[in-house]
Amino acid sequence: MKQIAKLVVSLTAISAVCAAVLAVVNAATKERIANLATLKANNAARAVLPKSVKAIVPRQDPANNDITAFIGYADDAKTKIAGYAVPGITAKGYGGTIRLMVGLNPDRTVISYQVLAAGETPGLGSNLSLPAFIARFKDLPAADVAVTKDGGSIEALTSATITSRAVCDAVADAARRIDRIEGKASAAAPAPAANPEGKMLFDPAKPEEALKTLPKGTATATALPGNGRFPVFEGKDAAGNTTGYVAVGTGKATGPHGELVIIYQFGFTAQRAPSFNPPPRQVNQPDVKMTDMENAQRIAFNAAQQDALSQIRR
C-alpha cells in the first residue's frame, strides 16, 4: 500500500509539473501564433488587392469582431475605393472549414483569392489553391458563383465537387461580409427554410395510399390506434387474415447543402419484418439541392426505416 501511495504521489507531482510547463509554453507562444496569423492575413490581403491600392484600412465584421476585412483605396486621401480583401469562411469543405482571403472589386466581382486554412484531400480538394482554379472565379459576381452542376460557370475540381462548392460558398460569404461591413445588409443570419421537408407527394394517412405499399392480395387497410404523426395501417385479405403493415418513418441527415429530411412509407410482413415488395414509397420532396447528397440520402433513408420499424414493433 505504501508503494502504491508513493506511486500516486509521484504521478500527481509529474502531472502537475507537466501542466505547469504546458501553461508556460502556451502563454509564451499564444501571442506569437496570433501575430503570425495576423501577418498571414495581412500578406494575403495585399496579394488579392489591386496593385493600384495606395492605402489599406482594416474593418471589423459587425457580426464577428474577430474577423477583419481590408478596404483598399486608390489614393492616399482614402476617397476612392479600389477593392476589398475579405475573409470568406465555410464549414462545407470535404475536410471541414475552409477560410479564404477573397479579393473583390468595388462592384463585388472577384479579383482572386488566397487560402488561409483548409483541410481538403491532398491531390484532389487541396487543388483549390492552384492558380488555374482560382482564375476561374476572376470577374464573376462573388455572391452568385456556383459550379456548373448547380447551374453556375465554375468547372469543379476533378473528383472534388464538394470542395469546389465549398470554395463558391466561401467566396459568396466574403461578398455578404463586406456588404455587412458597409451597412448594405443586415448582420443577422438568414432565416432557415420555412419547410425543410419540402412538399408532400401524397397523403400517407389515407388507406388507399397504404394499400399501394401492402402486399398483393390485401383487401383493406385499417389504421391502428396511436398518436403518431402518421397512422400505422394493418392490411388484411378478403378472408380477414393479416397480410402486413404500413408505417411512415422520418429520417434526417446533414449534407453539403444543409439538412435533408426524408419521409418514407414502408411495408412490413404479417410477422412485422421489413418488406420491400412492394418497395417503400417516398412521401415528400425535400426542399434542398440533391446534387452530391448521396451519402446524406442513405443516412436519412436508414434513419427513416428505423423510425418506421420502431412504430411497427411497439
In SS3 terms, the chain reads as: CHHHHHHHHHHHHHHHHHHHHHHHHHHHHHHHHHHHHHHHHHHHHHHHCCCCCCEEEEEEECCEEEEEEEEEECCCCCCCEEEEEEEEEEEEECCEEEEEEEEECCCCEEEEEEEEECCCCCCCHHHHHCHHHHHHHCCCEHHHCCEHHHCCCECCECCEHHHHHHHHHHHHHHHHHHHHHCCCCCCCCCCCCCCCCCEECCCCCCHHHHHCCCCCCCCEEEECCCCCCCCCEEEECCCCCEEEEEEEEEEEEEECCEEEEEEEEEEEECCCCEECCCCCEECEECCCCCCCCHHHHHHHHHHHHHHHHHHHCC
> Does residue 253 surpass a pLDDT of 80?
yes
Average confidence (pLDDT) over 67-85: 94
Q: Which tops the pLDDT comparison, 265 or 293?
A: 265
> Does residue 13 surpass a pLDDT of 80?
no
Which of the four pLDDT bands, split at 50, 70 and 90, describes residue 25? very low
Given 181, 208, 225, the domain boundary residue is 181
19 within a domain of the structure (yes/no): no
Whether 224 and 162 share a structural domain: no
Whether 142 and 50 share a structural domain: yes
Q: CA-to-CA distance for 114 and 129, rounded, in angstroms?
A: 7
> Does residue 28 surpass a pLDDT of 60?
no
Whether 58 and 161 share a structural domain: yes
Could you report the per-residue pLDDT of 282-301, keeping only the tens digit for each? 999 887 777 667 888 888 99
Given 116, 150, 181, the domain boundary residue is 181
Q: CA-to-CA distance for 252 and 259, rounded, in angstroms?
A: 7
> Does residue 192 surpass a pLDDT of 70?
no
Whether 206 and 173 share a structural domain: no
114 within a domain of the structure (yes/no): yes
Whether 308 and 248 share a structural domain: yes
Q: CA-to-CA distance for 207 and 210, rounded, in angstroms?
A: 5
30 within a domain of the structure (yes/no): no
Whether 170 and 260 share a structural domain: no
| Residue 211 neighbours by CB distance under 10 Å | 16
| Residue 115 neighbours by CB distance under 10 Å | 17
100 within a domain of the structure (yes/no): yes
Are the CB atoms for 85 and 48 separated by under 8 Å? yes
Average confidence (pLDDT) over 212-240: 91
Check: pTM over 0.75? Answer yes or no: no
Total domains in the chain come to 2
What nine digits make up the cell of 268?
Answer: 412490413
Would you state the pLDDT for residue 166?
93
Whether 168 and 75 share a structural domain: yes
303 within a domain of the structure (yes/no): yes
Whether 141 and 249 share a structural domain: no
35 within a domain of the structure (yes/no): no
Q: Across 16-25, 30-39, 100-109, 118-127, which has the greatest mean pLDDT? A: 100-109
Would you state the pLDDT for residue 260?
87
Whether 177 and 244 share a structural domain: no
Q: CA-to-CA distance for 307 and 314, rounded, in angstroms?
A: 11
Whether 296 and 233 share a structural domain: yes
Q: Which domain holds residue 172?
A: 46-181
> Does residue 178 surpass a pLDDT of 60?
yes
8 within a domain of the structure (yes/no): no
Given 151, 181, 211, the domain boundary residue is 181
Whether 220 and 159 share a structural domain: no
11 within a domain of the structure (yes/no): no
Which of the four pLDDT bands, split at 50, 70 and 90, describes residue 259? confident
> Does residue 33 surpass a pLDDT of 50?
no
